[in-house]
Amino acid sequence: MAKNTRVCRYANCPFEGKLINLDTDKYESDEKKFYHKECFERMKKEKEKQALINADIACILDLWQKHISNTVNYGYLRKILNEYLERGVSSDYMVYTMQYVVEHKLPLRYPPGFRYMLDRQEIQDAYKKQQAAKLLKQQKEYKPQRHSEPPKFTVKNNSGTGFGIIANEFNK
Protein backbone atom coordinates (compact mmCIF):
# COMPACT_ATOMS: atom_id res chain seq x y z
CA MET A 1 0.00 0.00 0.00
CA ALA A 2 1.40 3.37 -1.03
CA LYS A 3 1.92 6.24 1.38
CA ASN A 4 -0.92 8.25 -0.16
CA THR A 5 -3.44 5.38 0.00
CA ARG A 6 -5.68 4.48 2.94
CA VAL A 7 -8.44 1.92 3.54
CA CYS A 8 -12.01 3.12 4.06
CA ARG A 9 -13.21 2.03 7.52
CA TYR A 10 -16.91 1.93 6.59
CA ALA A 11 -18.09 -1.68 6.80
CA ASN A 12 -20.40 -1.47 3.76
CA CYS A 13 -18.05 0.52 1.51
CA PRO A 14 -19.26 0.13 -2.10
CA PHE A 15 -15.95 1.15 -3.65
CA GLU A 16 -13.67 -1.48 -5.13
CA GLY A 17 -11.03 -2.61 -2.68
CA LYS A 18 -12.13 0.04 -0.14
CA LEU A 19 -9.01 2.01 -1.05
CA ILE A 20 -8.84 5.80 -0.81
CA ASN A 21 -6.25 7.65 -2.84
CA LEU A 22 -5.52 10.74 -0.75
CA ASP A 23 -4.37 12.72 -3.80
CA THR A 24 -7.41 12.21 -6.05
CA ASP A 25 -10.37 10.92 -3.99
CA LYS A 26 -12.66 12.97 -1.78
CA TYR A 27 -12.43 11.69 1.77
CA GLU A 28 -13.25 12.47 5.38
CA SER A 29 -11.04 11.57 8.31
CA ASP A 30 -12.09 10.90 11.87
CA GLU A 31 -8.84 11.07 13.84
CA LYS A 32 -6.90 8.11 12.41
CA LYS A 33 -9.77 6.57 10.42
CA PHE A 34 -10.38 7.49 6.80
CA TYR A 35 -13.68 7.26 4.90
CA HIS A 36 -14.84 8.02 1.38
CA LYS A 37 -17.03 11.13 1.39
CA GLU A 38 -20.12 9.09 0.41
CA CYS A 39 -19.35 6.40 3.00
CA PHE A 40 -18.98 9.03 5.73
CA GLU A 41 -22.39 10.53 4.84
CA ARG A 42 -24.03 7.09 4.87
CA MET A 43 -22.45 6.29 8.22
CA LYS A 44 -23.67 9.59 9.66
CA LYS A 45 -27.25 8.93 8.47
CA GLU A 46 -27.18 5.41 9.91
CA LYS A 47 -26.01 6.75 13.28
CA GLU A 48 -28.80 9.35 13.32
CA LYS A 49 -31.39 6.70 12.44
CA GLN A 50 -30.07 4.38 15.16
CA ALA A 51 -30.18 7.21 17.70
CA LEU A 52 -33.89 7.79 16.89
CA ILE A 53 -34.63 4.07 17.24
CA ASN A 54 -32.80 3.94 20.58
CA ALA A 55 -34.81 6.94 21.82
CA ASP A 56 -38.06 5.24 20.76
CA ILE A 57 -37.09 2.02 22.55
CA ALA A 58 -36.23 4.01 25.68
CA CYS A 59 -39.65 5.67 25.48
CA ILE A 60 -41.38 2.29 25.23
CA LEU A 61 -39.38 0.93 28.19
CA ASP A 62 -40.28 3.99 30.24
CA LEU A 63 -43.99 3.72 29.40
CA TRP A 64 -43.94 0.01 30.18
CA GLN A 65 -42.34 0.59 33.57
CA LYS A 66 -44.71 3.43 34.53
CA HIS A 67 -48.00 2.02 33.25
CA ILE A 68 -47.77 -1.74 32.67
CA SER A 69 -45.33 -3.32 35.12
CA ASN A 70 -42.30 -2.04 36.94
CA THR A 71 -40.94 -5.57 37.43
CA VAL A 72 -40.50 -6.32 33.74
CA ASN A 73 -37.32 -8.02 32.58
CA TYR A 74 -35.80 -5.22 30.48
CA GLY A 75 -33.44 -7.52 28.59
CA TYR A 76 -36.36 -9.68 27.49
CA LEU A 77 -38.51 -6.69 26.53
CA ARG A 78 -35.66 -5.13 24.57
CA LYS A 79 -35.10 -8.45 22.79
CA ILE A 80 -38.79 -8.58 21.80
CA LEU A 81 -38.69 -4.98 20.54
CA ASN A 82 -35.53 -5.65 18.50
CA GLU A 83 -37.20 -8.70 16.93
CA TYR A 84 -40.09 -6.51 15.78
CA LEU A 85 -37.64 -3.98 14.36
CA GLU A 86 -35.89 -6.74 12.41
CA ARG A 87 -39.24 -7.85 11.00
CA GLY A 88 -39.79 -4.36 9.60
CA VAL A 89 -42.05 -2.76 12.21
CA SER A 90 -41.12 0.91 12.54
CA SER A 91 -40.10 2.18 15.95
CA ASP A 92 -42.47 5.12 15.50
CA TYR A 93 -45.40 2.71 15.14
CA MET A 94 -44.31 0.77 18.23
CA VAL A 95 -44.21 3.97 20.30
CA TYR A 96 -47.65 4.95 18.99
CA THR A 97 -49.00 1.48 19.86
CA MET A 98 -47.61 1.67 23.38
CA GLN A 99 -49.11 5.14 23.90
CA TYR A 100 -52.45 3.88 22.52
CA VAL A 101 -52.40 0.91 24.93
CA VAL A 102 -51.71 3.22 27.87
CA GLU A 103 -54.34 5.82 26.89
CA HIS A 104 -57.09 3.28 26.20
CA LYS A 105 -56.09 1.00 29.11
CA LEU A 106 -55.93 -2.10 26.92
CA PRO A 107 -54.93 -5.34 28.67
CA LEU A 108 -51.22 -5.94 28.26
CA ARG A 109 -49.28 -7.86 30.88
CA TYR A 110 -46.19 -9.41 29.29
CA PRO A 111 -43.76 -8.49 26.46
CA PRO A 112 -44.80 -11.17 23.91
CA GLY A 113 -48.36 -9.86 24.19
CA PHE A 114 -47.18 -6.60 22.63
CA ARG A 115 -47.28 -8.38 19.26
CA TYR A 116 -51.06 -8.70 19.53
CA MET A 117 -51.32 -4.99 20.14
CA LEU A 118 -49.20 -4.29 17.06
CA ASP A 119 -51.53 -6.49 15.00
CA ARG A 120 -54.79 -4.96 16.29
CA GLN A 121 -56.73 -3.39 13.45
CA GLU A 122 -58.12 -0.50 15.52
CA ILE A 123 -54.59 0.60 16.46
CA GLN A 124 -53.40 0.30 12.85
CA ASP A 125 -56.35 2.39 11.64
CA ALA A 126 -55.73 5.04 14.30
CA TYR A 127 -52.03 5.18 13.35
CA LYS A 128 -52.85 5.58 9.65
CA LYS A 129 -55.32 8.33 10.51
CA GLN A 130 -52.69 10.11 12.61
CA GLN A 131 -50.08 9.81 9.85
CA ALA A 132 -52.54 11.17 7.26
CA ALA A 133 -53.34 14.12 9.53
CA LYS A 134 -49.63 14.80 10.03
CA LEU A 135 -49.05 14.69 6.26
CA LEU A 136 -51.99 17.02 5.63
CA LYS A 137 -50.63 19.47 8.21
CA GLN A 138 -47.22 19.44 6.50
CA GLN A 139 -48.84 20.09 3.13
CA LYS A 140 -50.83 23.03 4.53
CA GLU A 141 -47.68 24.52 6.05
CA TYR A 142 -45.83 24.27 2.76
CA LYS A 143 -46.08 27.50 0.82
CA PRO A 144 -44.39 27.69 -2.55
CA GLN A 145 -42.29 30.77 -3.06
CA ARG A 146 -43.93 33.21 -5.40
CA HIS A 147 -42.03 35.96 -7.05
CA SER A 148 -43.67 39.38 -7.14
CA GLU A 149 -42.56 39.94 -10.72
CA PRO A 150 -42.90 37.44 -13.54
CA PRO A 151 -39.64 36.31 -15.13
CA LYS A 152 -38.42 38.41 -18.04
CA PHE A 153 -37.64 36.80 -21.36
CA THR A 154 -35.70 38.43 -24.15
CA VAL A 155 -35.66 37.43 -27.78
CA LYS A 156 -32.66 38.23 -29.91
CA ASN A 157 -33.09 38.42 -33.65
CA ASN A 158 -30.12 36.86 -35.39
CA SER A 159 -31.21 37.12 -38.99
CA GLY A 160 -27.84 35.99 -40.32
CA THR A 161 -27.72 32.56 -38.69
CA GLY A 162 -29.94 29.58 -37.98
CA PHE A 163 -33.57 29.52 -38.98
CA GLY A 164 -33.41 33.11 -40.25
CA ILE A 165 -31.19 32.03 -43.14
CA ILE A 166 -33.60 29.26 -44.08
CA ALA A 167 -36.59 31.60 -43.92
CA ASN A 168 -34.84 34.16 -46.10
CA GLU A 169 -33.99 31.47 -48.69
CA PHE A 170 -37.67 30.57 -49.10
CA ASN A 171 -38.79 34.20 -49.30
CA LYS A 172 -36.62 34.89 -52.39
pLDDT of residue 156: 65
pLDDT in tens, 123-154: 999 999 999 998 888 887 766 666 667 667 77
d(C-alpha 72, C-alpha 51), whole Å:
23
pLDDT in tens, 9-27: 888 888 777 877 776 777 7
CB 5 within 8 A of CB 22: yes
Q: Rounded to two decimals, what is the model's pTM?
A: 0.68
